[in-house]
Structure 1
Amino acid sequence: MNLFSNTITSLERSLDYAAKKNQVISNNIANIDTPNYKAKDVLFKDMLHAAMDDKMQAKKTSEKHLDFDNNGQAYEVVTNNHTMFNHNGNNVDVDKEMAELAKNQIYYQSLIERLNGNFKNIETVIRGGR
């Protein structure tokens, strides 16, 4: 029996992503003066997989086919090597990073509020609707 719905699992993965994104942004800001440092970003690829799972099911017809499971990591950290903002080879844009940090903090807070709402609903059920 699954006590928690898929919503809570999705929220957990989203929180993992938001925490990792916060860590990467903080690292970018900390290295703003480091020569030849390249800014990193976090891509959340699991959203696409979740949308695809709802609409289509893949069938493995041969042993040589790759598996279709998404049990791996929900996000990927990538490095931006295509730009350079400073004379020392560094490409961290502090304004962009601070905006991303603020946006990520709002996203994280909304996930926490949604998760708290789900736990409140479970608590209400346990207490018999009181």
Structure 2
Amino acid sequence: MDLFSGTISQLENSIQYASAKNNAISNNISNADTPNYKAEKVSFRSALENELGALQAKKTNERHLSFNDGENKAFRIVKDSSTTYNHNGNNVDIDKEMSELAKNQIYYNSLIDRMNGKFSSLQSVIRGGN
């Protein structure tokens, strides 16, 4: 039986995504002047997994690895090496990063508010509706 129909775990995964995105953006901002630094971004793994959903690896030995590497995250950090904005090989656009940081902060705060609402509802039920 899944408590709250998985809402808490979905919120938790979303908060982890927002935190990872915040870390990637912070790294980009702090390395905006670092020569040859390539910007990081958070990429969804689930999009690829949905496309490859029916694909299974044939294991002829129990030591063989499966396509699922054991990570339960639906996202990963990737470096964008396709562009260069600055003369020093760096591709961090500080204006874009600051905009993404503000947008991600709003998203994160809304997730936290929703999580607090779920816990407040649970607390109310435990107290008997008072």
Residue equivalent to 2:62: none
Shift of 1:2: 4.2
Structure 1 residue 4: Cα displacement: 4.9
Tell me the distance in 2 between the aligned counterparts of 1:71 and 1:8. Answer: 19
Partner of 2:100: 100
Identical-pair percentage: 55
SS in 2 for 1:8: helix
- Say if 1:17 and 1:44, in contact at 8 Å, map to a contact too: no
The match for 1:64 is 58
The answer on 1:73 being equivalent to 2:67 is no
Structure 1 alignment gaps of length 5 or more: none
Q: Which residue of 2 is the match for residue 88 of structure 1?
A: 88
Distance in 2, matches of 1:3 and 1:73, equals 20
Q: Give the gaps of 5 or more residues in structure 2.
A: 60-65
Instruction: Classify 1:71/1:36 alpha carbon distance in 2 versus 1 (closer, same or farther; 3 Å).
Output: closer
| Structure 2 residue aligned with 1:128 | 128
Alignment partners' CA distance in 2, 1:40 and 1:71 = 19
* Count of residues in Structure 1 that have an aligned counterpart in Structure 2: 122
For the residues of structure 1 that align with 2:36 and 2:71, how far apart are their CA atoms?
35
Runs of 4+ that moved beyond 3 A: 1-5, 65-68
Deviations 1:47-75 (A, max 9, x none): x59xx6xxxx96x8xx828678x862221
SS in 2 for 1:22: helix
TM-score (normalizing by structure 1): 0.80
Shift of 1:5: 3.8
